[in-house]
């Protein structure tokens, strides 16, 4: 007798336990750093935006809305041109490529992402904090993985990425599914027990920092009437078409400007953003304040259409020209403006049922752009806490994904950019 139970594997069990403890530690470290990144962005914005209101770029005078992103592009371009080239690869595609190649994520790139990502957002460039957050969290996991020397290098990297999404949005399930669908980390129970724990840890720390309420507390009248579900069947394909065009434009810009220097590319991205912000100041920065107003029926039809077009163009320019920020948040704003437009046309606005449309549009656009329908659906539920969204959300996400993936033949934006050999911004 060996003294071990039948079917037990002490060595494997000890590795699993080490990975679980590593997942717990990684989740806490990654979430803490990502929340610190958010704090830097928000404190800096509060220090110079009128009234200290986060995201209140609309209150800036027109000349400053034009100049600010251009100056941000100049500063970032000058800094990046002085960095060693290998340290300028940042973002989700950087993480995706390193995972595919089985390589660790370098510490200097993490520092580049933290400083450059926060600068880009504060300067009003049309990018988000979630793309940088995923890189920061994944890099923390990769670096911590060196200390405990797990044989599976992807585990703690995935833990850090999941914790960053969970902490940013208070969405632990979406963090887990994001790792599977977007970062292409293959599911095994041994690997995903640590990922689940890391994601839960990230969500707990996010709630301690920002409260436990859903990110979007939108009143809904109950389940969407069956007669209105047909509009969701229309909304999904519309979002899929826009997502396909969004990915194609980003791919085109990156392919055509790959040899451009950072100062030229970043400054042009700032100029595009600044010019568009003269007529649509709502597009500057992350634009979650704009998204909140869309959900609250605070924007008329003409403004919704303007935000949709301008956010689409500004974000494609920033990501296509390699600005070191993310695109998940902008995809939510674009989808919210699309859904809000349809909601106003269908309901006339002013009704509780209106909120179904921008919410479904947000997740349809996110799902089709990232090719992550399950992560999008789970995010929809966790961001709102409303199960009434399951059916309309499923229909819109399904339609968007099918159009983008099958009709237009698009891969996810991250897989597309990884194929170009460029870092995601």
Which pair of structure tokens corresponds to residue 192?
């995903």
Q: Is residue 218 part of a domain?
A: no
3-state SS of the chain? CCCCCCCCCHHHHHHHHHHHHHHHHHHHHHHHHHHHHHHHHHHHHHHHCHHHCCCCHHHCCHHHHHHHHHHHHHHHHHHHHHCCHHHCCCCHHHHHHHHHHCCCCCHHHHHHHHHHHHHHHHCCCCCECHHHHHHHHHHHHHHHHHHHCCCCCHHHHHHHHHHHHHHHHCCHHHHHHHHHHCCCCCCCHHHHHHHHHHHHHHHHHHHHHHCCCCCCCCCCCCCCCHHHHHHHHHHHHHHHHHHHHHHHHHHHHHHHHCCCCHHHHHHHHHHHHHHHHHHCHHHCCCCHHHHHHHHCCCCCHHHHHHHHHHHHHHHHHHHHCCCCCECHHHHHHHHHHHHHHHHHHHHCCCCHHHHHHHHHHHHHHHHHHHCCHHHHHHHHHHHHCCHHHHHHHHHHHHHHHHHHHHHCCCCCHHHHHHHCCCCCC
- Give me the residues paired with residue 128 across strands: 326
What mean pLDDT is predicted for residues 173-193? 90
Structural domain ending residue among the three candidates 152, 182, 210: 210
Predicted local distance difference test score (pLDDT) of residue 151: 64
Indicate if the pLDDT at residue 14 is higher than 80.
no
Domain that holds residue 65: 10-210
232 and 363 fall within a common domain: yes
* C-beta separation of 331 from 365 below 8 A: yes
* pLDDT tens track for 353-370: 898 999 999 999 999 999
Are 46 and 22 part of one and the same domain?
yes
In a domain? residue 133: yes
pLDDT in tens, 194-205: 999 999 999 999
Considering the domain architecture, whether residues 274 and 314 belong to the same structural domain is answered as yes
Instruction: Check whether residue 191 and residue 86 sit in a common domain.
Output: yes
Q: Do 205 and 233 fall within a single domain?
A: no
| Residue 117 near residue 315, CB atoms below 8 Å | no
14-18, 166-170, 290-294: least confident range = 14-18
Does 17 fall in a domain? yes
Q: Out of 177, 210, 243, pick the residue that ends a domain.
A: 210
Q: Are residues 61 and 171 in the same domain?
A: yes
Identify the pLDDT of residue 1.
Answer: 40
Nearest to 366 by CA among 386, 387, 388, 382: 382
Residues 268 and 177 in one domain: no
pTM, full prediction: 0.93
Q: Work out the number of other CB atoms within 10 angstroms of the CB of residue 67.
A: 17
Q: For residue range 368-423, what is the model confidence (pLDDT) as tens digits?
A: 999 999 999 999 889 888 888 899 999 999 999 999 999 999 999 999 998 875 44
Domain holding 134: CATH number? 1.10.3080.10
List, in sequence order, every residue forming a beta bridge with 326; answer none if it has no partner: 128
| pLDDT at residue 2, as a whole number | 43
Q: Alpha-carbon distance 342 to 382, whole Å?
A: 23
Do 89 and 197 fall within a single domain?
Answer: yes
Number of domains making up the chain: 2
Q: Is residue 3 part of a domain?
A: no
End-to-end CA distance of the chain: 58
Q: Select from 257, 192, 179 the least CA-distant residue to 414.
A: 179
- Which of 68-72, 98-102, 134-138, 224-228 is least confident? 224-228
Are 390 and 283 found together in one domain?
Answer: yes
**Chosen domain end from 210, 234, 249:** 210
For residue 185, being part of any structural domain is answered with: yes
Specify if 16 maps to a domain.
yes
Cα angle, residue 121 at apex, residues 169 and 54 outer, rounded to 5°: 70
């Amino acid at each position: 007798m060996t003294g071990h139970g039948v079917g037990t594997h002490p060595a494997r069990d000890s590795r699993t336990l080490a990975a679980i403890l590593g997942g717990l530690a990684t989740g806490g470290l990654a979430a803490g750093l990502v929340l610190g990144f958010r704090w830097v962005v928000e404190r800096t914005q509060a220090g110079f935006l009128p009234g200290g209101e986060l995201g209140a770029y609309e209150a800036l005078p027109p000349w400053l809305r034009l100049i600010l992103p251009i100056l941000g592009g100049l500063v970032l371009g000058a800094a990046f041109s002085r960095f060693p080239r290998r340290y300028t690869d940042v973002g989700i595609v950087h993480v995706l490529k390193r995972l595919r190649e089985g390589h660790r994520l370098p510490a200097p790139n993490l520092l580049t992402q933290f400083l450059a990502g926060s600068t880009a957002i504060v300067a009003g460039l049309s990018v988000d904090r979630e793309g940088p957050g995923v890189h920061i969290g994944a890099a923390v996991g990769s670096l911590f993985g060196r200390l405990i020397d797990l044989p599976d290098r992807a585990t703690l990297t995935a833990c850090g990425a999941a914790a960053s999404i969970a902490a940013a949005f208070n969405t632990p399930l979406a963090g887990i599914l994001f790792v599977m669908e977007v970062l292409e980390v293959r599911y095994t129970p041994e690997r995903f027990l640590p990922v689940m724990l890391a994601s839960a840890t990230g969500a707990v720390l996010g709630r301690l920092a920002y409260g436990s309420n859903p990110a979007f507390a939108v009143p809904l009248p109950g389940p969407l009437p069956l007669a209105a579900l047909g509009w969701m069947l229309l909304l999904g394909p519309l979002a899929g078409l826009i997502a396909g065009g969004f990915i194609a434009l980003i791919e085109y810009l990156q392919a055509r400007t790959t040899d451009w220097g950072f100062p030229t590319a970043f400054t042009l991205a700032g100029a595009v953003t600044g010019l568009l912000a003269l007529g649509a100041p709502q597009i500057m920065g992350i634009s979650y304040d704009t998204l909140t107003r869309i959900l609250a029926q605070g924007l008329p039809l003409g403004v919704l259409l303007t935000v949709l077009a301008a956010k689409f163009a500004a974000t494609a320019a920033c990501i296509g020209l390699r600005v070191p920020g993310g695109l998940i948040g902008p995809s939510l704003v674009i989808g919210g403006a699309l859904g809000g437009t349809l909601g106003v046309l269908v309901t006339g606005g002013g009704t509780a049922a209106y909120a179904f449309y921008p919410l479904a549009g947000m997740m349809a656009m996110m799902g089709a752009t990232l090719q992550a329908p399950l992560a999008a659906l789970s995010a929809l539920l966790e961001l709102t806490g409303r199960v009434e969204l399951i059916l309309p959300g499923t229909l819109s996400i399904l339609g968007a994904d099918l159009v983008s993936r099958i009709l237009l033949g698009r891969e996810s934006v991250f897989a597309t950019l990884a194929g170009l050999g460029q870092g995601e911004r």
